[in-house]
Structure 1
Amino acid sequence: MIRARTVTVHTLDQGAVTVPEPIWCTGHADLPTGYRDDIHHSGPEKVVDYEGQAVLSAELVEYPFGMRPIPPSVYVDILIPSTTLDSAALEGLAAILTEQAAELRRLALRLAVLRAGGEW
C-alpha cells in the first residue's frame, strides 16, 4: 500500500503516536484523539441528499490500531427517515437509490484495487 507520509496524532493514553498516513486520508485534527485504538484514517465522504435530507453517506476508513484492526473499508450509513410518499416522490427516491447502488458497486471495485495494493 502506498503511504505518502507519516503524521503524529496526540492521544490521551499513549501521548504522541506516529502513524503512516495513506494518501487517501483527509487528515487528522490537532486535538487529542482519545485512545490509540481510536486512531483512524478517513477519506472524502460522499453524502446523498433526497429532498434536503441525507439518505446515504459512504467514506473510506481504516482503523490500524483498533482492538480488532480494520483494514481499508468503506463505512456506509443509510438514513431513510420514515415518511409517506406519493408515486412521484417514490419514483424519485427509487431513482436515487438505484444511482447510489451503482456508486456503491464502484466503491467496492475501488476498494478491491486498494486492498490488492493499488491506489484509491
Structure 2
Amino acid sequence: MDHPMPSGRRTIVLPTIDHGDVTLPEPSWCAGHTHHDPQSARADLMHAGPTVDCTHLGTTLFSAEIVQSPYAQPGPPHLGGRTPGVSVHPLGKTLTPAGLYSLAARLDSYADQLRDLADRLTAIHAGEGQ
C-alpha cells in the first residue's frame, strides 16, 4: 500500500520475515513491488524501475533496470546495494553510470563486428571469397 509522506514523496509498506512491516520511501523511478515476496528479509528489499529489454527474433538478449536495495549489506558495487545502479542481465552485475556507458560502448563495437560478419557473409553468398 502506498502512503504519502509530508514532503510529497510516497512510501510503501512491505512485509518482511525478519522485521515485520517495513515502511520505505518510494523513489519516483520505482515501478512498484508487485513481485515482492513477504518471506523476504529486510536486507533483500529492492526498488526496481521499468525493465528495458533488448529483444531480437523473440529472444531477450539483455534486460536492464534501475535498482536499489536500501537495506543491503555493504558489498561489491557490482552486486547492487544502497546506491541506485542499473542491473543488467544476463551479465549479472549492477553498473554505475560509468560502467553502463562502458557497456554501451562495447555493444556499439560489437555491433560493428556483427556488421563486418554480415558483409563477409554477403560476399560468401555472392560467390566471392570461397
TM range, normalised to the smaller chain? Answer: 0.5 to 0.7
Structure 1 residues 15 and 57, CA gap change in structure 2 (3 angstroms): same
Q: Which of 35, 45, 50 in structure 2 is aligned with 1:44? A: 50
| Percent identity over paired residues | 40
Q: Match for residue 113 of structure 1?
A: none
Q: Match for residue 34 of structure 1?
A: 40
Whose strand proportion is higher, 1 or 2?
Answer: 1
Alignment of 1:21 onto 2:33: no
Which consecutive residues of structure 2, in runs of 5 or more, have no partner in the other structure?
Answer: 1-6, 75-80, 92-106, 112-130
* TM-score, normalised via structure 2 length: 0.55
Tell whether the 8 Å contact from 1:56 to 1:76 is kept in structure 2 after alignment: yes
Give the Å deviation of 1:78: 3.7
Who wins on radius of gyration, i.e. which is larger? 2
Q: Which has the higher contact order (CA 8 A, sep 6+)?
A: 1
The CA distance in 2 between the partners of 1:10 and 1:25, in whole Å, is: 18
| Runs of 4+ with >3 A deviation | none
| Root mean square deviation of aligned Cα | 2.8
Which consecutive residues of structure 1, in runs of 5 or more, have no partner in the other structure?
Answer: 80-96, 102-120
Query: Which amino acid in structure 2 is aligned with residue 59 of structure 1?
Result: E
